[in-house]
A = this chain, B = another copy of it.
Amino acid sequence: METIVLKFGGSSTADNIKLNIVANKIIDFYNKKNKVIVVVSAQGKTTDNLIKEAKELSYEPDKREMDVLLSTGEQMSSSKLAILLNRLGYNAVSLTGWQAGIYTSNINEEAKIEYINTERIKQELDNGNIVIIAGFQGINDKKDITTLGRGGSDTTAVAVAAAMKADHCYIFSDVDGVYSTDPNKITDAKKIEELSYDEMLDLSNEGAKVLHNRCVEIAQKFNVLIETGSTFNNNFGTQINNKIEESAVKSIVKNDNLFLITLKYENYNADMLNKLYFTLLNNGIIPTNMINNSINSFNVSFTIKSADLGKFQELLGDELKDFTSSFTNISRISLVGYGIMNNENIIKKTLELLNINSVDIFSMQLEECKLSIMTKEKVNNKLLEQLHHELIV
């Protein structure tokens, strides 16, 4: 008898027809004499709608209360799935984050799982129940409800799999795995069979939406093998594991949702950079690729997500008002795969193609598993297609 964890995202549970498909997938696993733990996200647009409703009440809703509000989304989907499974003749019991013993840090909206008390989960499994856990949520040491941030249900699933020493951890969504590039843009894109944790981390940090990066970190730490797959077919998905691979580009990701910011100030003061950094972090803006060109005057560039631009512009009118600023929408193309750093051929071909396409490089970073290039303008899909054609084996 194996213990398995199945995670279903919001697009897999959006309506009753889909919920029935999910239920049948769960029953298949249960009927093979498995102990089945299911982790669910909120249905479809539930979370977005709750955020919208809260924003109608407050421009900046209290974070503790947002967690109370948003956690209802997964509480609803988990109980509905249990209702459906019970109706189909299978004993199922839903557990909220606190009932499932998921203890987190104190940071509302971005809590981290610290510990899982698996007593209740084990007790329900021993009673023959399918256990449906509300993903994305837990409680802190004050017994306040917390949430794990966007995509946090992936993290719940992997953390539960680690705590339960599960034999399998499947992450189901509406795509059947990780692709060599965006299949909606490049028709040649192909499904990747295996990825290492490091490769997957690089991909998710670069914006691939298949897995939440925190979940990959936990999987790596506790050596949980993740199997991704589609809710809606039985194709093999992508495995995320610890295998060492031959050097190759596995996937190419383009991220257009970035702004390059430049801040200037007449005088240079060594403390200024520090202050700038903390002002950004305190407002939830993480500057990536910060470049300090200051000599006599302060001159610093960095990139932020498009989503943070509004907040950043507010800061320019307030705490950062002494700086002269400019910003422009840029692209970052990242090639991810084990051993890229030491593969001259990959780097050469990439630079060649950028040159042919007259792409102006702003910065280039080379890491063990990643070559990441930032361009001064947005990059079109044609270049992405050429890179994919030349570099993906």
Contact = CB atoms under 8 A, between A and B. Distances in A.
A68 B84 contact: no
A61 interface: yes
Interface string A80-106: 101110110000011010110000000
A16 interface: yes
A326 to B, nearest CB: 34
B83 A61 contact: yes
A69 to B, nearest CB: 4
A72 B46 CA distance: 13
Interface in A45-101: 50, 53-54, 56-62, 64-66, 68-69, 71-72, 75-76, 78-80, 82-84, 86-87, 93-94, 96, 98-99
A13 to B, nearest CB: 11
Q: How many copies does the complex hold?
A: 2
A19 interface: yes
A83 B99 contact: no
Contacts of A61: 83, 86-87
Given A16-B57, A56-B16, A57-B19, A78 B83 contact: no
Contact of A65 (B50, B56, B69, B83): B83
A61 to B, nearest CB: 4
Interface string A14-46: 001001000000000000000000000000000
A83 B57 contact: yes
Contact of A79 (B59, B66, B96): B66
A389 interface: no
A312 B297 CA distance: 86
A69 B58 CA distance: 26
A75 B78 contact: no
Max count, chain B CB within 10 A of own CB: residue among A76, A144, A145: A76
A296 to B, nearest CB: 45
Nearest to A23: B57
Contacts of A65: 79-80, 82-83, 86, 93-94
Contacts of A69: 75-76, 79-80, 83
Nearest to A139: B99
A16 B98 CA distance: 30
Interface string A248-266: 0000000000000000000
Given A16-B57, A68-B79, 5 more contacts: A19-B57, A58-B83, A65-B79, A72-B75, A96-B145
